[in-house]
Structure 1
Amino acid sequence: MTIRTFFDAAVAQTPDAPAQRFFQDGEWVTRRYDALQARVERAAAILQDLGIEPGQHHVALMLENGPEWQEIYLALACAGVAVVPLDPKLREQEVSHILADSESVAVFAGVKTRDVVLQASAALPRLRACVWVGDREEEYTPSGKPEERSYDSLMANMPPSSIQTAQTWLLRHVPTPGTIASIIYTSGTTGKPKGAMLTHGNFTSNVAATIERVGFYATDNFLNVLPLFHSFSFTANFMLPLGVKGCCSFVRSVRTIAEDMAILQPTVLLAVPLMAEKLYARIAEKLRKNLVARGLLGMGLKRVVGKKVIESFGGRLRLLGIGGAQTALAVLKGFQDVGIPVLEGYGLTECAPGVAYPRLESYVPGTVGPILNNMQFKLADTDATGAGELCVKGPNVMKGYYKNPEATAEVFDGDGYFHTGDLVRIDSQNNVTICGRKKALIVNREGKNIYPEEIEQVIERCPFVRDVVVLGYRIGDESGERVGAILVPDTDAVTAHNKGMPLTGTDTETLVRETVLECCRRLLADYKMPRKLLVRHTPLERTSALKVRRVVYAGSLDESVVTPSACTPPAEFDRSPVDSPGYPTP
């Protein structure tokens, strides 16, 4: 099975079914599968004109979400050309690294990224063509280096003869399940991004296993909010609807989600934790102001309240799926309490990406369900609590990292298992609970394993904390690590708590520290308590997948010299386990 198989089947069996919905030229447009095929053939004609050779050339795709993203991807992948998706918000250095490392010969990019891409191209001798999307008026001289073209102009003025030639070209070039479909560069939360080589079979097998586990249908309308360059959104919002012959609906922007949902009426909404938290906060705020709704919930009539909430999501929502990182347990239970069908899954880019999903009817919040049926797994180096590194193999696991045999060898063992780097526990029902990243694990001076993600979830309950990252830190040459945290205060919540009067920076930091420590004392064992809290007033740096980039903060809490306050617990240790309340902001 290939992505080409999915697309050909959808066009042949349901040509008049809606494939895409999007906003264009002031109105909502519905594009059927047969019309999408016609667009794909035109895009393929551009590829042929550029001299793109399937199986030999790689082409980058650096676009915001939209119908063009999908049609260009399909034109490339359906001919067997490996696609390199990029975040359009990347800087010149990041773009240069990925385009060079992937050996891309052409890039389809939004016209707003032109300056960044052209600056990066100066160091990219392989890059011979840039096709700009979203500029209908501009004409480019095709003699430059790299050659520049206007996608919109080419698509609008495509001669029939070129389309016929492209149709023949597509018939001649047909990918196999082992053909590389995408080279997706990891977000790099703990290091430099590497290109995961994912085949057609990786994606299609993952789609099949996900459909079997969760259940998706041709009648489903997926609301596409998350960026398609990210593996979770790519498979969940693009490959899944394609595989079931469903519809992918694009919101206009993150600011218009609520308004767009009322029009698009999605049945499936997929979110990352940050987005889910904001959606739930909006619901919770409305419920707080609605005495009748709170009363109904108190009487156990969540179905009545849930119906109203679902109406605010367009009226047809049957599933809210969350992935990409761990979600706060309070948010998951909160959605359930108001009658929103919710589940959380787990995956990695290298696994295309799904690894574990629950069935909706048996979902246990705080877990991510059992490993998918078409995968094998084992736990390596389990500790006293039963937590160990999850290792998997199956048809969805990548071929390896592009041009990086050393990194590939590091993650595959002699039995062919891919070592995920994630520490998990598996219960008697085979439900997986994520404990944290192996590389982020904190080992204290007593040799106890401490999972920073667990502490982060506790601190996130504090109403005055907007963001947090928990890290291990060292003092001098002491053995073992201590627990520290970098906090970003929610100044709006702090001001509201102070009856609308803003607090000074020092008073804000004091309030945040005291509240966090109080919360931690109630919910954490003593050895997990943070010994250092650093409050900063700038947002934490995140990856394109909205995960905190831990590598940026590694070592930032370390102390090179043992000070009395750091070496010896203060007298008031039981009351305030913070080594250095006045630790300076970097």
Structure 2
Amino acid sequence: PLRVVAFLPFNHIFGLIANLITMPFQNQSQIFLKDRAPQTILETARKCDAKVILTVPLLVNSISSTIKKRVSQQSAFKRGAFKVMQGISLTCQRINPLWGLKVGKKLFKSVNKNLFGDQFMEFVVGGAHTPEEHLRTVNSLGYAVTVGFGMTETAITSYENKIDLKTRLSGSVGLPLPITEYKVRPDGNDPDHGELLIRCNAMHIGRMDNGVMVPPVVDGDGYFATGDVVRIGDKGRMWIEGRIKDVIIGESGENVYPDEIEDTFAGIEGVEQLAVFCTKPGETELVSAMFNVGDKYNDKEYIASLVAEVDKRNKTLQPLKRLKAAYVTSNALPVVSSIKIKRAALREGIEKGTFACKRIALGGVEYNEEIKPAGEAASVPKGEDLEELKAKIKTCFAKELEIDESLIKDDSTFADELGGDSLHRLGALLRVEEEFGVKIPENAYEYCTTVNDLAALIKDLREKKAR
């Protein structure tokens, strides 16, 4: 039997249906994680001989971004060799998918031994759109990535079971399951592009609203409006393009889909996270992007190369879809339950001046805008246990970053000065949670960037817990 990593929380419909219901009936072993720190996930997968992990696009995207960052730090020869091996792996997968995946594992054996291991087979992804650039990177390692779709209200309704490379790289979520019917509420001239409507035998029978059970919100034909923007092909296959709530109304009144734009800018060297969203400085919504560049935030040479690459890619888009504003930050982008980037929070952070970032040149126009959130830096907690508290935090940082503790100062910023990326940031904070037995609030992931920041927060959390 396959061994499957139970990565998703069980209040997530994908984790509940797949890990707790479907897999046990198929006699598949489940591997439970003590936490979701990146190193825990990787070490557990290797140690327990995991073959499959059910996950969300964020994990695949993060793995791809981390690999690209590490490759970019290698010599020109090694960067070239990596690119050639990727080409060989993907070419072999086009010829024969199963054989090609084995070739990929042999080519990237030294890489995979530090990832999920040579025994690992597949990522099964659900929940949102996954950029092709990230699908290409992870598939080239010999790890197949397949995608499905479902909702809490409808359970799992489709899953891509074709394994040819073209289908895998397309991000298709497959055909509807036999109990399911899909149709589209068009958002333009294309009848197969728009909001997805679902009718299925697994539809929820009701939901609690202020203590009262109310029936499903469906139309006269029994179709449930999902809020997802999709494209359905000639043969019934479906692709997720985004969420209606994230749609940007362009200058001409046409809809612009952030996920589609993100595909254009995915895979830029040095970018750890990317989000496309809208800002509204006036009456018109501007298509905007935020690039988390980590420790390269103050690297003028890198920012210049980033501007050139963004401009180059921007010109390949239709005029109405082009970025009108672009920002860089060294902070991790806000996410929902470690799963999806919160675009609305980014927009609010820029408009209210609470998210640290700076606007970069676009189309030859220079900007000197930098947002530095108002307020004093985190106060350092006082008390006889202060040094012990900070020493333990430094140990957590050092273990996650695999550096000597002596390099970590009380006010060293995690990204700019210590070189940590978004995955390391999450891992370090999870280590801190485990060390001190506290739960760090989700919004603190954005502003706790130094030992002093965390020391102040932990002191406060401990005091509240003791009351």
The TM-score with structure 2 as length reference comes to 0.63
Match of 1:324 among 127, 131, 138: 127
State percent identity of aligned pairs: 25
**2:206–2:216 CA contact under 8 A, matched in 1:** no
**1:220–1:241 CA contact under 8 A, matched in 2:** no
Letter aligned with residue 313 of structure 2: C
Q: Which residue of 1 aligns with 2:382?
A: none
**1:350-397 per-position Cα deviation (integer Å, ceiling 9, x unaligned):** 223x23211133534232212222111211133124411001021222
Output the CA distance in 1 between the equivalents of 2:54 and 2:222.
31
CA separation of 1:534 and 1:428: change in aligned 2, threshold 3 A: same
> Is 1:243–2:25 an aligned residue pair?
yes
The worse-fitting range, judged by mean Cα deviation, of 277-286 and 333-342 is 277-286
Q: How does 1:146-225 map to 2 (within 5 A)?
A: 219-225=1-7
* 1:261 Cα deviation after fit: 2.4
Output the CA distance in 2 between the equivalents of 1:292 and 1:464.
16
Letter aligned with residue 527 of structure 1: L
> Is 1:257–2:45 an aligned residue pair?
no
Report the secondary structure of 1:345's partner residue: strand
**1:460–1:466 CA contact under 8 A, matched in 2:** no
**1:285-330 per-position Cα deviation (integer Å, ceiling 9, x unaligned):** 5895795994595385545533435874455434321123222211
Q: Which residue of 2 aligns with 1:298?
A: 88
**2:204–2:216 CA contact under 8 A, matched in 1:** no
Report the secondary structure of 1:402's partner residue: strand
Q: How does 1:419-498 map to 2 (within 5 A)?
A: 419-476=225-282, 478=283, 480-491=284-295, 494=296
Q: Which residue of 2 aligns with 1:519?
A: 313
Letter aligned with residue 56 of structure 2: V
> Is 1:418–2:221 an aligned residue pair?
no
Letter aligned with residue 517 of structure 1: D
Match of 1:369 among 146, 150, 174: 174
Letter aligned with residue 519 of structure 1: R
Output the CA distance in 2 between the equivalents of 1:296 and 1:406.
55
Q: If you compute each CA radius of gyration, which structure gives the higher value, 1 or 2?
A: 1
**1:533–1:581 CA contact under 8 A, matched in 2:** no
Two-structure CA RMSD over aligned residues (Å): 3.6
Letter aligned with residue 221 of structure 2: D
Letter aligned with residue 348 of structure 1: M
* 1:526 Cα deviation after fit: 1.7
Q: Which residue of 2 aligns with 1:542?
A: 335
Q: Which residue of 1 aligns with 2:158?
A: 356
**2:7–2:33 CA contact under 8 A, matched in 1:** yes
* 1:554 Cα deviation after fit: 4.4
Letter aligned with residue 18 of structure 2: A
> Aligned pair count?
340
Output the CA distance in 2 between the equivalents of 1:336 and 1:444.
34
Match of 2:149 among 322, 331, 346: 346
**2:58–2:340 CA contact under 8 A, matched in 1:** no
Q: Which residue of 1 aligns with 2:355?
A: none
* 1:249 Cα deviation after fit: 1.3
Structure 2 unmatched ranges of 5 or more: 93-99, 353-360, 374-467
**2:138–2:144 CA contact under 8 A, matched in 1:** yes
**1:319–1:340 CA contact under 8 A, matched in 2:** yes
Q: Which residue of 2 aligns with 1:584?
A: 371
Structure 1 unmatched ranges of 5 or more: 1-218, 496-501, 560-571
CA separation of 1:482 and 1:231: change in aligned 2, threshold 3 A: same
Report the secondary structure of 1:257's partner residue: helix
Letter aligned with residue 160 of structure 2: P
CA separation of 1:272 and 1:280: change in aligned 2, threshold 3 A: same
The TM-score with structure 1 as length reference comes to 0.51
* 1:251 Cα deviation after fit: 3.6
* 1:517 Cα deviation after fit: 2.8
Output the CA distance in 2 between the equivalents of 1:381 and 1:406.
33
> Is 1:230–2:12 an aligned residue pair?
yes
Q: Which residue of 2 aligns with 1:382?
A: 187
